[in-house]
Amino acid sequence: MTHRSFLPMIYLCLLLFGLLFISPIGFMLAGSLKPDARVLVEAGDWRAFWPAGVTLDNYRDVFARVDFARYLLNSLFINGMIVGAGLLVNSLAGYAFARLLWRGRDVLFGLVLAVMIIPLEAIAVPLFYMVSLVGWRDTYLVQILPFIANAFSVYLFYTHFIGLPRELEEAARIDGAGVLRTYFSIILPNAKSVFATVAILTFLSQWGAFLWPLMVTSSETVRPLPLAIATFHSLPPLQWGDILAFGVMMVLPILVVFLLFQRWFVRGVAHTGIKG
C-alpha cells in the first residue's frame, strides 16, 4: 500500500517524533547515572543524554536518604490488592448482570452505568471527610477499599460475558453444576483476555495515583511511590541526580510489565476505545 518513494520520508518522520518522545526518558536515565553536580550543567547540550563516567552513587544516595524499598512495597501491595480483589468482585458482578435473570437487575445495571461518569475528583472531598470520621486515615485500607469496586471494570466484564455462547453454560448445568461452580470452572478459563485487559487498565490507572494518597496519608510508612517522588523532589538539598535515580527505579517495575505484556497493553487500551 505504501508507495516506495514515501518510505524514507516516513522513517524520517517516525525517527524525528521518536527522538522527541524518547529524549525526556533518555535524559532521565543518563542523568541518573552521572555525578549529581553535572546533571544541570550538562542539560543544555548533547551531553545531557550521555553519562560520561558512569556512577551508581545517585542510586546509593536514594537508598541512604529515603526508605525506597518501603515505598515500593507499599505501591506493590496497594496495587496488587486493588487489582486482585477488583478482578474477582467486578467480574462476578459483570457475570451476574450479563448472564443471570434476577429481580432488579436492569435498574441496578443502569445505576452502574450512571456511576461510571463520576470521577474520583468529584467525590474526593466528601469521601475524605467520611473516612476521617471513621478514623481510616493513614492506612493501607483507605487506599485500597474505595477502588476495588469499579463501574468501568464491571462494564468491561459485562460486555465480554454477554458475547459468550449459551452452550458453554448449558453443558455445565446439565452436569449439575451450580451458578458459582459454572462461573469458576467454565467461564473464568474462557475469559482470560478480558481479565488481562481489566488487570492492565486497573494497574495502569492506579500505579500513578497521587491525589487521593496525598489527601489521606501523612506518614511515610503507608505512602506509595508517586507521593514519595514528589516529597523527594521537594526534600533539600535539591540533588537532581538522586531524583532521577529515584524516577528510574520507580518506573522500572511498570516498564518491565509493560514491555513483557505490551501486546495486551495496546490491545486492552484499544478495545476500550472502540467500545466508547
Partner 1 sequence: MDSRNFIAAFMSAPALVGLLLFVVVPFLFAVALSFTNLRLGSPLPLEWMGFEQYRRIFSDPSFVRALLNNLVFVVVVVPLQTVLALVLALLLNRRLYGITWFRTLFFMPVVFPLSLVAVVWVLIFAPGPNGMMNAFLDLVSLGNWTPRDFLHDPYFALPAIMLTSIWQGTGFQMVILLAGLQAIPAELYEAAAIDGAGRRQQFWHITLPQLRNTLIFVVLVTTILASRLFDQVQIMTQGGPNDASTTVMFETVEAAFARQQVARGAAMTVILFLVVLLITRLQRRVARQEREVT
Interacting span for partner 1 (CB under 8 A) from 58-66, 94-102, 160-168, 169-177: 94-102
Judge whether 48 and 30 are in contact, CB under 8 Å. yes
Judged by phi (left if over 0) then psi (alpha if -120 to 50, else beta), residue 138 lies in: left
If the CB atoms of residues 63 and 184 are measured against partner 1, the closer one turns out to be 184
If the CB atoms of residues 70 and 215 are measured against partner 1, the closer one turns out to be 215
If the CB atoms of residues 195 and 258 are measured against partner 1, the closer one turns out to be 258
Q: Does 264 bind partner 1 (CB under 8 A)?
A: no
Query: Interface residues for partner 1 in 50-79 (CB under 8 A)?
Result: none
Residues in the chain, overall count: 276
CB of 184 to partner 1, least distance (A): 11
Residue from 164, 177, 214, 235 binding partner 1 (CB under 8 A): 214
DSSP for residue 35: -
Q: Does 244 bind partner 1 (CB under 8 A)?
A: yes
Interacting span for partner 1 (CB under 8 A) from 58-66, 93-101, 159-167, 188-196: 93-101
Residue from 54, 64, 100, 171 binding partner 1 (CB under 8 A): 100
Tell me the three cell numbers of residue 96.
Answer: 451476574
Encode 19-47: b = buried (16+ Cβ within 10 Å), e = exposed.
eeeeeeeebbbbbbbbebebbeebeeeee
DSSP 63-131: HHHS-HHHHHHHHHHHHHHHHHHHHHHHHHHHHHHHH---TTHHHHHHHHHHHTT--GGGTHHHHHHHH
Q: Does 174 bind partner 1 (CB under 8 A)?
A: no
Q: Does 82 bind partner 1 (CB under 8 A)?
A: no
CB of 224 to partner 1, least distance (A): 9
Query: Interface residues for partner 1 in 18-57 (CB under 8 A)?
Result: 18, 21-22, 24-25, 27-28, 31, 39-41, 43-45, 48
Residue that is written with C-alpha cell 522527541 in the block: 20
Residue from 66, 81, 154, 156 binding partner 1 (CB under 8 A): 154
Count of residues of this chain found to bind partner 1 when the rule CB under 8 A is applied:
96
E strand or H helix that includes residue 272: helix 262-275
Query: Interface residues for partner 1 in 112-151 (CB under 8 A)?
Result: 112, 115, 117-119, 121-130, 145-151
Q: What is the three-class DSSP state of 218? A: coil
Q: Does 155 bind partner 1 (CB under 8 A)?
A: no
CB of 189 to partner 1, least distance (A): 18
Residue from 87, 97, 161, 198 binding partner 1 (CB under 8 A): 97
Beta-carbon contacts of 225 under 8 Å, excluding residues fewer than 6 positions away, are 71, 72, 74, 75, 207, 250
Residue from 87, 229, 239, 242 binding partner 1 (CB under 8 A): 229
Separation CA 21–CA 61 (nearest Å): 28
Beta-carbon contacts of 223 under 8 Å, excluding residues fewer than 6 positions away, are 71, 74, 213, 217, 231
If the CB atoms of residues 7 and 69 are measured against partner 1, the closer one turns out to be 7
